[in-house]
Amino acid sequence: MRKISLIILAYCVTGFISCKNSTTYNSEETSSAFLTSVLDIDQKVATLLKQMTLEEKIGQMNQYNGFWDITGPAPSSGDAAKKYEHLRKGYVGSMLNVRGVENVRKVQQIAVEETRLGIPLIIGFDVIHGYETISPIPLAESASWDLEAIKKSAQVAAEEAAAAGINWTFAPMVDISRDARWGRVMEGAGEDPYLGSKIAFARVQGFQGSDLSQHTTIAACAKHFAGYGFAESGREYNTVDVGTSTLNNIIFPPFQATIDAGVRTFMNSFNELNGIPVTGNKYLQRDILKGQWEFDGFVVSDWGSIEEMVFHGHAKDGKHAAEIAANAGSDMDMESYLYVTELANLVREGSVKEAYIDDAARRILRVKFELGLFEDPYKYCDRQREKEVIGQQAFHDAALDMAKKSIVLLKNDNQLLPLKKQGQKIALIGALASDKTSPLGNWRIAAKDNTAVSVLEGMQAYKDNQLTYAKGADLSLGKTKFTAELNINTTDRSEFPQAIALAKTADVVVMVLGEVGYQSGEARSRTTLGLPGVQQELLEAVFKVNKNIVLVLNNGRPLVLNWHQEHLPAIVEAWQLGTQSGNAIAQVLYGDYNPSGKLPMSFPRAVGQVPIYYNYKNTGRPSIPASNTVFWSHFQDVENTPLYPFGYGLSYTTFEYSALKAKVVSNKKVEVSVMLTNSGKLTGKEVVQLYIRDHFASVTRPVRELKGFELVRLEPNQSQRIVFTLTEKELGFYDNQGNFIVEPGDYSIFIGGDSNANLHTKITLK
């Protein structure tokens, strides 16, 4: 391998001096004035671009998955050999799923030392909720409504991933979803565009920090643009058809928030939107994202989504797909191999403008410069740092903190919780209670199996109780990523008797039930939302002998919990909480942490209600007419409301709201305040939520829309006045022409601890 000193290399790639094999630069570019000038990134990119052949520019637009055991020999035949050859020619701009300093260094070395221009690779990876130290799944983190904690969690993930050679994460996923059948709800922030936007902003800030060139920060990627969360019937990759108003007011806002936060990349997605696959959607990518929103980063396709346009029935073949995608503004091809094989010919034939290629390459190079990869392509490849940073205690502390904040207390009759710390006989039941992999959830590729603290381990730390444990039913099937998890544990009841025997003699039974980690996530759609397998049977069998049950749920999506709400005294929504899961759950169960999480998605009463969301439209027939006919918008068999509404969650203390006031300062400014009192006996936190309703508008508005929230910590008997200012941004909406408007008229303002808040007042905008 050719060795070049890093300094020479940095100059070489920025075009300051000529290097071996490179073309000769013109005198202006190599003049000493040019050499010493403090060029901004755009100038450096322009200089570099001028030296690149068409194939090299297209190479920047080509992303390959890790293609051989990088620590082993390079492949001599097949697909991998082709990729290797492309890498050496400078026809690869990025790789994904190459991780670990040694591996990243190897591929980077080829790009930097063996290609003509030595342009470094950008290395992407799905750092979704942690790298090796895993924090709660994003849906769970969102239940904290704690933006600082969420930002911190992304910061930690970035730092750990960066230490392993990664400089670009495919996160945050900011797809709004109202459909719990869709497995990827675990990866987003839930159903609400306002909360989703705040969280999207915090996550981007966390990953990218204030300076992308630091070795602790990585580029973020807002995905999947757009509409992926609205797959029909929640079936993965399914068709999406949504109207203008939903697109503008529900789907777009979190993406816009990531732009406000300075996100450097976007990912498009697998779905079609209103008949056009989004990967080939010019309106979304060129007109909205790069046009109206002035996004100057780059757009990567989703895995193979360029080629999938053929299956969608939008492109006639791969070449046509490449043409459509490039013209529509997809800058980088993830694993379709079509840009690298087809684009140059398409340009020569005049089907794709070279200006589009230049624009895409420019965007990609710009991000590489911002990351500091040209100054030091190996800045993420420090072995010592990798050893010291990954898995450090501070990351575990942050994961534990985030996990506790993510837990939602759904029910707690007669203060069954917190558990007493002494003298209680506790039977812990459920295979998930001792599982050390499932709590890691989905999207935890770099985490090792069996590394999460289990609930059993967490509870064992409280030594003064008598704790016994039985699985009751095994979950051992379906733990691996690519098997069909829906078949888990459907038949084997052989361990029921042991669990029932323990429950009979216990004071309290803690049952940990739910979904295994890989039961939600990509390609994990479900048509039922109950406890999978024999778990419900087990629960009811235990309930027959002991009604004092605390149900601890581990799951990646809202479930249907009617029986549970009706029969069980206590229910804790503990999602999949990551590496520190068991410690977090134990601390909540024993009252060392007072839960304050609030649901980021509505929990339905029946699958038939789905999609269900709090910010629905009123319809023309919203309630039972006076004559008591059936002709109003409802189901015959289940009421319209969810079992647990958006924003809902209890605490071990209680809160009271009073003295709601609203003052219209102008049409663009409304001041609202409310008094919050901790009326219980423990210190606790409450998420104060403000909703508005615009009663009549040129485009109908939802019955409620979240427009403000604040996380407040109060001692018992302490009161605090919470003040919100609503501006144009909160009071307005997008009309169907895409204009943002605030309309005069009557608005209701509701404040409380969930989306059913009934304390309200009215204002009128003139």
Look up 382 and say whether it is catalytic.
no
Phi and psi at residue 231, in whole multiples of 5°? -55, 130
Identify whether the C-beta of residue 199 lies closer than 8 Å to the C-beta of residue 150: yes
Q: How far apart, in whole angstroms, are the C-alpha atoms of residue 88 and residue 94?
A: 13
Give 217 or 279: the residue with its C-beta nearer to ligand BGC. Answer: 279
Give 169 or 437: the residue with its C-beta nearer to ligand BGC. Answer: 169
Q: How far apart, in whole angstroms, are the C-alpha atoms of residue 653 and residue 609?
A: 32
For ligand BGC, how many residues bind (rule: CB under 6 A)? 7
Whether the link from the prior residue into 226 is cis, omega within 30° of 0, is yes
Site for ligand BGC in 114-143 (CB under 6 A): 126
* DSSP assignment letter at 112: I
What is the rounded radius of gyration, in angstroms, for the C-alpha atoms of the chain?
27
Give 96 or 670: the residue with its C-beta nearer to ligand BGC. Answer: 96
The least distance separating ligand BGC from the CB of residue 171, rounded to whole angstroms, comes to 8
Identify whether the C-beta of residue 440 lies closer than 8 Å to the C-beta of residue 452: yes
With CB under 6 A as the contact rule, the residue among 160, 522, 705, 754 that binds ligand BGC is 522
The least distance separating ligand BGC from the CB of residue 359, rounded to whole angstroms, comes to 23
User: What is the enclosing helix (H) or strand (E) of 497?
Assistant: helix 496-505
The least distance separating ligand BGC from the CB of residue 63, rounded to whole angstroms, comes to 10
Catalytic residue among 302, 331, 333, 401: 302
The least distance separating ligand BGC from the CB of residue 550, rounded to whole angstroms, comes to 35
The least distance separating ligand BGC from the CB of residue 173, rounded to whole angstroms, comes to 7
Three-state SS for 116-164 is CCCCCCEEEECCCCECCCECCCHHHHHCCCCHHHHHHHHHHHHHHHHHC
Q: How far apart, in whole angstroms, are the C-alpha atoms of residue 453 and residue 460?
A: 11
Site for ligand BGC in 265-324 (CB under 6 A): 302-303
* DSSP assignment letter at 603: B
Residue 85, both tokens: 């050859």
Give 96 or 731: the residue with its C-beta nearer to ligand BGC. Answer: 96
The least distance separating ligand BGC from the CB of residue 446, rounded to whole angstroms, comes to 12
Give 266 or 380: the residue with its C-beta nearer to ligand BGC. Answer: 266
Give 94 or 546: the residue with its C-beta nearer to ligand BGC. Answer: 94
User: Would you give the binding string for ligand BGC spanning residues 88-107, x where CB under 6 A is met?
Assistant: --------x-----------
Q: How far apart, in whole angstroms, are the C-alpha atoms of residue 319 and residue 343?
A: 8
Closest-CA residue to 254 (of 266, 243, 244): 266
Q: How far apart, in whole angstroms, are the C-alpha atoms of residue 175 and residue 189?
A: 8
Q: How far apart, in whole angstroms, are the C-alpha atoms of residue 307 and residue 277?
A: 11
Site for ligand BGC in 218-237 (CB under 6 A): 223
The least distance separating ligand BGC from the CB of residue 445, rounded to whole angstroms, comes to 8
Give 184 or 379: the residue with its C-beta nearer to ligand BGC. Answer: 184
> Which residue has the CB atom at the shortest distance from ligand BGC?
170
Q: Does 333 bind ligand BGC (CB under 6 A)?
A: no
Give 228 or 369: the residue with its C-beta nearer to ligand BGC. Answer: 228
The DSSP code sequence of 624-676 is --TT--S-SS--SSS-SS-SB-TT--B-SS-EEEEEEEEEEEETTEEEEEEEE
The least distance separating ligand BGC from the CB of residue 570, rounded to whole angstroms, comes to 36
Cα angle 90, 2, 341 (rounded to 5 degrees) comes to 15
The least distance separating ligand BGC from the CB of residue 481, rounded to whole angstroms, comes to 12
Q: How far apart, in whole angstroms, are the C-alpha atoms of residue 426 and residue 548?
A: 10
Coil vs helix vs strand at 600:
coil
Give 126 or 359: the residue with its C-beta nearer to ligand BGC. Answer: 126
The least distance separating ligand BGC from the CB of residue 210, rounded to whole angstroms, comes to 25
Closest-CA residue to 645 (of 598, 709, 610): 598
Residue 583, both tokens: 């410690």
Give 279 or 576: the residue with its C-beta nearer to ligand BGC. Answer: 279
Q: How far apart, in whole angstroms, are the C-alpha atoms of residue 379 and residue 214?
A: 9
222 burial level (CB within 10 Å; 0-12, 13-18, 19+): buried
Closest-CA residue to 411 (of 568, 588, 598): 568
Q: Does 170 bind ligand BGC (CB under 6 A)?
A: yes
Q: How far apart, in whole angstroms, are the C-alpha atoms of residue 365 and residue 350?
A: 24
Give residues in contact with ligand BGC (CB under 6 A): 96, 126, 170, 223, 302-303, 522
Q: Which residues are catalytic?
A: 302
